[in-house]
Amino acid sequence: MGKVDLRALTANVTMAMYGAYAVQMLVGADMMFGANSPIGMVFWPSGVTPVGEWFARACGLTILTVILGPLYCGVSRDSFLKQALFFNVCGVFLGSYGSMMPEAGGAVMWKVQTAINVIVTLLNLYVVLQSKGFIGRAKTPSKSPARGKSPMKKGK
């Protein structure tokens, strides 16, 4: 049995988890997470307003855009994991807050999701702390290319 690449595993788990939520929010927050959820993930037992639906779709699109970065936009796995760590830490606090909202009606899914977020966040924190350059900027060239040697060609 080979060695497990925890960085790849963490990135993939994070992309899968948030990707699923993003798609579900794009489909419709009330349909997917309301009282009659076909997948049993009830976050809002009292329903979602039309404004809440619009906002959930906007959030779903934003999340989908961020998680597709490593696959289609050239975002490095390390950069993605740093972004995900920030999102995961905040998600733990938001999930805890959601579980205490009276409007959520004590929905068990908030507690389940918060527990999952804690596990993913700890794994994410571990792999980010193990990587080099925990805090740092993207690498930039040390000097500009010589005049006329730029990889970009001017159109005629």
Res. 106 pLDDT band, cuts 50 70 90? low
Write the DSSP symbol of residue 155.
P
Q: What is the pLDDT of residues 35-50, one digit of tens each?
A: 888 887 887 777 888 9
Angle ∠(16,22,25) on CA atoms, nearest 5: 140
Check residues 110 and 19 and name the one with the higher pLDDT: 19
Coil, helix or strand for 34? strand
Which whole number is the average pLDDT over 102-127?
A: 83
CB 43 within 8 A of CB 104: yes
pLDDT (0 to 100) of residue 95: 83
Percent over 90 (pLDDT), the chain: 49
Which whole number is the average pLDDT over 42-60?
A: 88
Which whole number is the average pLDDT over 58-62?
A: 96
pLDDT (0 to 100) of residue 63: 95
Q: Map out the domains of the chain as residue ranges.
A: 6-130
pLDDT (0 to 100) of residue 113: 84
Which whole number is the average pLDDT over 104-114?
A: 73
Cα–Cα distance, 98 to 43 (Å, whole number): 9
Lowest mean pLDDT among 7-11, 33-37, 61-65, 106-110: 106-110
Lowest mean pLDDT among 31-35, 106-110, 119-123: 106-110
CB 15 within 8 A of CB 7: no
